[in-house]
Amino acid sequence: MSLPHDTADPMTLLRDPSILIVGAGPVGLCAGIALLKDGHRVAIVDSGAHGAGWASGGMLAPLYEMAADPTCPDPYLEFALKSAELWHVLARTCAVDLQSPSLFLARTQEEVAALLSLQRRANRLGLDLTSVCVPAGLTAQAAFQAPTERSLAPRAALKSLMNQFQSLGGELLVGQAYAIGPHRLGLLDGRTLEAETIVLAHGFSATSFGQSIPALRALSPVKGQMARVAHPELASPIVRAGRIYMLSRGGGLVIGATSDPLAAPVLSVDVDPVLALLAEAKALLPSLATAPTVEAWAGVRPDTPDHLPLVGASGVDGIYLATGTYRNGWLLAPAIGAYLSELISGKTLDQALMNLFAPERFSS
Ligand SMILES: Cc1cc2nc3c(=O)[nH]c(=O)nc-3n(C[C@H](O)[C@H](O)[C@H](O)COP(=O)(O)OP(=O)(O)OC[C@H]3O[C@@H](n4cnc5c(N)ncnc54)[C@H](O)[C@@H]3O)c2cc1C
C-alpha cells in the first residue's frame, strides 16, 4: 500500500531520528549500527516475527559461497571478503561468538576436483585452504580445512546486535510496516512514522511494497529448511559437503539446508525435503542414524534474478533498499551496513558495486 506525501492522519507520530530502518534482521541491525557510528540518528521498527536471519545457519563463508562459483563477479567476492573481515571487529564489540575452522569434504572425484580448484583460487586470494585427513567417523574421499570460513549462532547474534544498536543510542520500535510513501511509513496499528530517510531492510517481506516501489518486484522467495539433532559435537565445528553443512552448536548438531524456490513464501516444515537433507547428512556422518531430531524449522531467503542484493536508492524519494541478500545475508550484513551508511552520507562509492547492487537494475 502506498502513502501520499500529504496524508492528513490524526494518528501521525513524528519521530526525531533522521533515519528509520524497517526490519531488525542482520541487515537492518548492521546498517543501524554502521549509521549510528557515522553520527546519524537512527530508529529501527520491527514486527517481532522471525525473519530469515533467525532461521539461518549463520555461515560466514565467502570462499564456499562466492569464490567456489566461477560466475561470481570479482567486486562481489571482494565485498564478501571485506564483510567477513568486518565481522571480526563487530563480533568483538558485540560479544558474538564466531566458530571456525570449516572442514570441506569431497564425496566424489568431481567434488575433489572442485575443491582443488577452490584451493587454487583461495591461495591466489592469500587465503588458506589446506588438504587434511578425513576425520574418523566422517565418510568422504578428501577433506580441506579453511581457517577463515566461520559461522555464528544466529539467534544469539540477533540479540547481541540489538543490544549493541541500543547501547549506541539507536531506538527500537515494535510495529508492522504496512504502507509506504515519500519519507513516511504507515504501520498496521494506524501510526505513521516520518523520517528524512527510510531504509527497507525487512528481507523478503519488503515485496509487499512492490506496488509503490517497482524495484522490489525483483525479489523472489527461496525456502530453506534445517534441523537440529542430538549428537555429540564434531571435531571440526563446521563441516560442509555439497549443499550440506553440520554445525556443532549448543551441545548438538545443526544441519542445513534445503533450498527450494517458491511462488509464494511458506514457512511450513515439510517431511520429504527434511528427510532427504538428513539422509544426505547421514551418508557423511553414519552415526547420525540413531540421533534423535529435536527441532526443525524453515525460513525464506530473499532472492533476486542474479542472486545479488538490492542495495541503494529505491527510486522513491527518501527511500533506500537493503534486501535481496539470498543465501548470504549474515555474511554480507556488516559490509552492506557500511556501504549504505556511505551512500546515505553522500560519499563516493565503487561504481562497479553500485552497478551490481542497483535496485532498479531489473526495472526495464
Ligand atoms: C534456512 C536458511 C539458511 C540460511 N543460511 C545462511 C547462512 O548460513 N549464512 C548467511 O549469510 N545467510 C544465510 N541465510 C540467508 C539469510 O538468513 C538472509 O539473507 C538474511 O537473514 C536476510 O537478512 P535481512 O535482515 O534482510 O532479513 P530477515 O533476516 O528476514 O529479517 C527481517 C526482519 O524484518 C522484520 N519484518 C518483516 N516484515 C516486517 C514488517 N512488515 N514490518 C516490520 N518489520 C518486519 C522481521 O521481524 C525480521 O526481524 C539463510 C536463510 C535461510 C532461510
pLDDT tens digits, 10-24? 344 444 569 999 999
CB 187 less than 6 A from any atom of ligand 1: no
Number of CB atoms found within 10 A of residue 147's CB? 12
Ligand 1 centroid to 299 CA: how many Å?
Answer: 8
CA atoms of 302 and 16, how far apart (whole Å): 30
Ligand 1 centroid to 102 CA: how many Å?
Answer: 23
CATH number of 12-55+155-219+306-362: 3.50.50.60
Nearest CA to ligand 1 atom 16: 329
- HSE-CB at 145 with a 13 A cutoff on CA atoms is 12
CB 334 less than 6 A from any atom of ligand 1: no
Ligand 1 centroid to 223 CA: how many Å?
Answer: 11
Which cell is 134 given?
578425513
Which cell is 26 given?
542482520
Which cell is 256 given?
542445513
Question: By percentage, how much of the chain surpasses pLDDT 70?
Answer: 95
User: What pLDDT, on a 0 to 100 scale, did the predictor assign at position 11?
Assistant: 44
Which letter, b or e, does each residue of 73-93 get, where b requires 16 or more Cβ atoms within 10 Å of its Cβ? bebbbbbbbbbbebbeebbee
CB 180 less than 6 A from any atom of ligand 1: no
CB 17 less than 6 A from any atom of ligand 1: no
Cα 356 from chain centroid? 17
CB 186 less than 6 A from any atom of ligand 1: no
Ligand 1 centroid to 136 CA: how many Å?
Answer: 35
Domain residue extents for the chain: 12-55+155-219+306-362, 101-147+220-303
User: What pLDDT, on a 0 to 100 scale, did the predictor assign at position 321?
Assistant: 98
Residues counted in the chain: 364
Q: Do you find a cis peptide bond into 257, omega within 30 degrees of 0?
A: yes
Which cell is 183 given?
519519507
CATH number of 101-147+220-303: 3.30.9.10
Per-residue pLDDT tens digits for 226-259? 999 999 999 999 999 999 999 999 999 999 999 9
- Residue 4, pLDDT > 70, answer no
User: What pLDDT, on a 0 to 100 scale, did the predictor assign at position 2?
Assistant: 62
